[in-house]
Homo-oligomer: A and B are copies of this chain.
Amino acid sequence: MFQSFDEVSEGQASGARLERLRERLAALGLDGWLVPRADEFQGEYVAPGAERLRWLTGFSGSAGLAIVLKDRAAVFADGRYTIQLAEQVDPHLFETCHLIERPPAQWLEETLRGGEVIGYDPWLLTADQASRFETACGKAGAVLKAVDENPIDAAWTDRPPPPVAPIELYPDELAGRTPADKLEEIRAALIKAGADAAVLTLSDSIAWLFNIRGRDIPHTPVVQTYAIVRRDDLPDLYVHPEKLTEAAAAHLTAVAVLHPPEDFAGALAGLGATGAGVLIDPATAPEQVRAAVAESGGRVITGADPCILPKARKTRAELDGTRAAHARDAVAMARFLCWLDAEAPKGELDEIAVVRRLEAFRAETNQLRDISFDTIAGAGPHAAIPHYRVTSASNRKVEPDSILLVDSGGQYLDGTTDVTRTIIVGKPTDEMRARFTLVLKGMIAVSRLRFPKGTTGAHIDPFARHALWQAGLEFDHGTGHGVGVYLSVHEGPARLAKTGHTALEAGMILSNEPGYYREGHYGIRIENLVVVTGPQDIPGGERPMHGFETLTLAPIDRRLIDSLDAYHARVFAEVGPLVEADVRQWLEKATAPLAG
């Protein structure tokens, strides 16, 4: 089981831990300390030893930050965690604030009286974040100070050590490109940016570049390392020796120079000392990386991580692999939905049982490496919480005549899946059916769109909302995110969102997942993954157009909709031959023409 249903919060220990932290801050001459929910690689998931925010405050959400002052402290998290914050964090120790409505920088500006020194660990804030906090402290007459020794690590005596999972090689045949070929493209980007080197800090960029994978953190199969790519020399990779199997060492030595992680800081200083122009992505690189280069005399060139865009343009091999992964995942989804239709009406299922059975169906493919993220299985009103994660405490029965929303995905060696289906157990209300149909119209409008070169996610996102808008409805999340290939299920740079200003390019994989949420009642989301196609000529047209090919193959609940025959025929034709007779029989009915 890749998912746990425990809420790992030790909020009751916060009082003593906060006291220990404040003692250490006093010893360091600091008036405050910033505790982000981030590690030194700034990815979505962190290893247990990096759960500093949870250790200190009890808050176990996946995004947030705490500020500890001498006599006051606060925890910040976004709207999806409002209830969780209240449950996990002791209000006598911490104020709880909305991350967007009262951001931590604003809180600092309003709270500091002037003259304070606020410390932070420069490995745990990005350069952009550090710069924002510096401005906020400055406005209040206080000083933001990067501190080498993290006082939480000193106070957290049983902190788990960093992960050292063995590196796995990613076959060149699945990647469709060799590391040498990718390095050539990155070097060309360095030359274009006028840089002598680039520091890579994002684990999925490094995994992509060197065709490696790992198991350092949950759900995203990356290796936590840093790399320096040089214009005229082999790249350097800073990787713990324990991660290097014999095969990995042989593979990597052929394309890079290997160093232990503790040499990284010195290497940045050495790079700076040569006066080199160093490309650093301030939105993703730790502030310490920027500072080390700048303070040793290097010329920092700010720009996007040069791997992000090439990684997003999937190769033909990656797309073939992803299609195979989706076909495999579709078999598990068909079995799951068939099982659900049989079991749910009995009234015995709860959310945890649903999550367990779905993961089991995926595991039965014998090719599941991990789930892409903790499965969201929201029954009834829980379906209205877009990022709901079931715990033993929140677990809810799947009741008759209610909606069940299931958002899940699998990590397979050849691809990453992510699919959401909304199922009616029993009979839907007319309102449910009407709104489900509006959401589906949006999903289909996006999937059928043709668009010219240069079109961005912001241009496409409104088509997912159009039918809802006309009815006076809206949903408060983006329409889609980029997806990796046996990498992160959330990757940049393109997004289908109101602020997605990156142009879509052929080979980018994106989710297409409009929704509708009626708080306290039910929620709807329908998600397929799509890949950007083209540019292709259209008969009678003048300009080649991009479009989307749908990757996900799972039935959409006909009991909630109007017309879907063509898509369903394809689902049955492609998935039917892969499943056993009784599932095939069910699938045939589930995908039958609506008129029939």
Contacts and interface: CB of A to CB of B under 8 A. Distances in A.
A466 to B, nearest CB: 7
A474 B458 CA distance: 18
B462 A450 contact: no
A323 B242 CA distance: 76
A542 B458 contact: no
Contact of A450 (B448, B449, B472, B539): B472
A157 interface: no
A145 to B, nearest CB: 28
Contacts of A462: 451, 455, 459-460, 462-463
A474 B450 contact: no
A98 interface: no
Interface in A160-189: none
A456 B473 CA distance: 17
A473 B544 CA distance: 9
B455 A540 contact: no
A536 B469 CA distance: 12
A366 interface: no
Interface residues of A, number: 31
A471 interface: yes
Contacts of A593: none
A287 interface: no
Interface in A442-458: 448-452, 454-456, 458
A452, A462, A539, A543: residue with the most chain B Cβ atoms closer than 10 Å: A462
A149 interface: no
A182 B225 CA distance: 59
A91 to B, nearest CB: 32
A466 B449 contact: yes
Interface string A422-466: 000000000000000000000000001111101110111111001
A273 interface: no
B452 A469 contact: yes
Contact of A463 (B466, B538, B542): B466
A110 interface: no
Contacts of A460: 462
Contacts of A458: 458-459
A471 B469 CA distance: 25
A498 B459 contact: yes
B452 A474 contact: yes
B473 A542 contact: yes
Contact of A472 (B448, B472, B542): B542
A596 interface: no
A537 interface: yes
A541 interface: yes
Interface in A271-310: none
Nearest to A539: B472
Interface in A469-484: 469-474
Interface in A540-554: 540-545
Contacts of A544: 472
Contacts of A539: 472
A454 B469 CA distance: 13
A543 B451 contact: no
A174 to B, nearest CB: 34
A538 B455 contact: no
Nearest to A451: B469
Nearest to A537: B472
Contacts of A456: 498
Contacts of A448: 470
Given A462-B462, A462-B463, A470 B455 contact: no
A450 B471 CA distance: 8
Given A455-B462, A459-B462, A470 B450 contact: yes
Contacts of A541: 471-473
A539 B470 CA distance: 10
Contacts of A459: 458-459, 461-462, 498
A473 B538 CA distance: 9
A296 to B, nearest CB: 27
A454 B499 CA distance: 11
Interface string A337-366: 000000000000000000000000000000
Contacts of A452: 469, 474
B473 A543 contact: yes
A461 B470 CA distance: 17
Contacts of A463: 462-463, 466
A458, A466, A469: residue with the most chain B Cβ atoms closer than 10 Å: A469
A384 to B, nearest CB: 13
Contacts of A542: 472-474
A188 to B, nearest CB: 22
4 tightest A-B CB contacts, nearest first: A472-B541, A472-B538, A459-B462, A450-B469
Given A458-B459, A472-B544, A473-B542, 19 more contacts: A448-B470, A450-B469, A450-B472, A451-B462, A451-B469, A452-B474, A458-B458, A459-B459, A459-B461, A459-B462, A462-B463, A463-B466, A469-B545, A471-B538, A471-B540, A471-B541, A472-B537, A472-B539, A472-B545
Interface of A: 448-452, 454-456, 458-463, 466, 469-474, 498, 537-545
24 contacts: A448-B470, A449-B466, A449-B469, A450-B470, A450-B472, A451-B462, A451-B469, A455-B462, A459-B461, A460-B462, A462-B462, A462-B463, A463-B463, A470-B538, A471-B541, A472-B537, A472-B539, A472-B540, A472-B541, A472-B543, A472-B544, A472-B545, A474-B542, A474-B543
